[in-house]
Amino acid sequence: MATLLARSTDAQAQLGRTHIANQVRHQLATIQSRQSEWDGARKPIDALYAKLQWFGAEVSADADLQEVLGKVRYLSGQAQELLRSGTDMEVLTQDELWVRLINQAKTAADTARAAVRAAWRARVLAAGTLPAPEEISNLMMPSPTNQAALRAYREQHERYRALRDRLEPGSESDLYAVDQYARDLQARQQSFALNLPPEVKLFREALPLGAPLPLLTPSVLQWLQEHDDPTRFAVHVKS
């Protein structure tokens, strides 16, 4: 009888330990799941807020953004207080507070993302309006000098456009890169001969039917030497 009682007591103790172990495992699983959920809501905020720092303190201190971040901090503080008071993790995460905290964190991430994208758009616009290569091609005369300048402009404009069309910058260096590309393209625009001097315009308009020699004035010849390839032109004697 004593042996049977001892065995019964041992079995009950084993069941108790198994129950406690199962409870601990369940608690750990709940904690890991909720930690993963919280990390998924918090990390986008951290990443986007870090991007806002690139644009300066004035942008990151935006009143609407700080308001939603304040709500996240408040709800997070309440959740921490409940845990410190011994509230069960599973009970906490089934509470309305947890749902409000996660939803508010998502709202904060959306607000931060909108602020980053607005700041990036403003930065791109501040860099200046740059015509597409096709626009310049339609305005310029098709001289070798212009064509070479257009090729260089197009290559740089493609790099600028790839950066300009992003929804948001990938790194802080993108802010300085878009400024540099814009300055470079603005400088390259000066290398195109878009507005022909009157004498040159008259000479070129006469070329299809044969420009009379008097139209090839010293100023026209100088312009051709500076902006075109004079070897493209030849003198023909009318029969």
| pTM for this model (two decimals) | 0.68
Query: Do 53 and 87 have their domain in common?
Result: yes
74-97 tens-digit pLDDT: 988 887 787 777 656 566 666 688
168-208 tens-digit pLDDT: 999 999 999 999 999 999 999 888 876 677 787 777 777 76
Count how many domains the chain has: 3
| 7 inside domain | no
111-121 tens-digit pLDDT: 999 999 999 99
C-alpha–C-alpha distance, residues 23 and 88, integer Å: 11
Task: Provide DSSP, the chain.
Answer: -HHHHHHHHHHHHHHHHHHHHHHHHHHHHHHHHHHHHHHHHHHHHHHHHHHHHHT-HHHHT-HHHHHHHHHHHHHHHHHHHHHHTT--HHHHHHSHHHHHHHHHHHHHHHHHHHHHHHHHHHHHHHT-----HHHHHHHS---HHHHHHHHHHHHHHHHHHHHHTSSS-SSTHHHHHHHHHHHHHHHHHTTS--S--HHHHHHHHHGGG---GGGS-HHHHHHHHHHS-GGG-------
Is residue 129 predicted with pLDDT exceeding 50?
A: yes
Query: Do 206 and 191 have their domain in common?
Result: no
Query: Do 226 and 210 have their domain in common?
Result: yes
Query: Do 91 and 135 have their domain in common?
Result: no
Average pLDDT over residues 156-161: 95
pLDDT interval class at 99 (50, 70, 90) = confident
| 3 inside domain | no
Query: Do 97 and 27 have their domain in common?
Result: yes
Average pLDDT, rounded, for the chain: 80
Is residue 152 predicted with pLDDT exceeding 80?
A: yes
Query: Do 216 and 144 have their domain in common?
Result: no
Q: Which amino acid is at 25?
A: R
| 212 inside domain | yes
Query: Do 117 and 20 have their domain in common?
Result: yes
- Residue after which a domain boundary falls, among 91, 126, 161: 126
Query: Do 115 and 139 have their domain in common?
Result: no
pLDDT at 82: 73
Domain ranges, residue 40: 15-126
pLDDT at 110: 93
Query: Do 135 and 152 have their domain in common?
Result: yes
Query: Do 19 and 104 have their domain in common?
Result: yes
Comparison of pLDDT for 47 and 26, the residue scoring more: 47
Q: Which amino acid is at 165?
A: D
| 4 inside domain | no
| 145 inside domain | yes
Query: Do 147 and 187 have their domain in common?
Result: yes
Average pLDDT over residues 119-136: 90
pLDDT at 24: 53
